[in-house]
């Protein structure tokens, strides 16, 4: 979907990686069709910094689903992705991917 290599499991506690290992973490909570909570860190996080936490909530709406993402505990100086990274590397490819599935 994003164009980068990824490995993930549907098991709470299992590790995952994205963008060919640039991002790594573990599944904390998985509630199908509703919520995903994961630890999250990039290879650029300082080694001594704890993992951050990402929470994704899916809410049904008339045209599909609303995705709400909250990312906490990111090290200072590591938040530039908030300017456009989430949109450019995740949300836009995700929208294109699911739009294509809808058309098929």
Whether 103 shows a pLDDT value over 70: the answer reads no
- The CA distance from 81 to 88, in Å, is 9
| pLDDT given at position 9 | 95
pTM: 0.80
Q: How many helices (H) and strands (E) does the chain have?
A: 2, 5
**Rg of the chain on CA atoms, in Å:** 14
| Confidence (pLDDT) at 82 | 63
pLDDT higher than threshold 90 for residue 3: no
Task: Tell me if 65 sits within 8 A of 59, measured CB to CB.
Answer: yes
> According to the model, what pLDDT value does residue 16 have?
96
Give the three-class secondary structure for 41: strand
What's the pLDDT score for residue 80?
Answer: 65
Instruction: Identify the pLDDT of residue 86.
Output: 76
- Domain extent listing, the chain: 15-103
Per-residue pLDDT reduced to its tens digit, 26-84: 999 999 999 999 999 999 899 999 999 999 999 999 988 898 989 899 888 776 666 66
Distance of alpha carbon 12 from alpha carbon 81, whole angstroms: 26
CATH class of 15-103: alpha beta
**Burial of 80 (C-beta count, 10 Å sphere; 0-12/13-18/19+):** exposed
């Amino acid at each position: 979907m994003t164009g980068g290599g990824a490995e993930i499991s549907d098991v709470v506690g299992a590790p995952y990686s994205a963008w060919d290992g640039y991002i790594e973490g573990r599944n904390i909570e998985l509630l199908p069709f509703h919520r995903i909570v994961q630890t999250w860190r990039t290879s650029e996080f300082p080694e001594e910094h704890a993992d951050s936490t990402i929470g994704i909530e899916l809410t049904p709406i008339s045209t599909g689903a609303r995705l709400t993402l909250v990312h906490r505990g990111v090290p200072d100086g590591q938040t530039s992705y908030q300017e456009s990274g989430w949109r450019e590397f995740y949300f836009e490819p995700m929208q294109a991917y699911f739009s294509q599935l809808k058309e098929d």
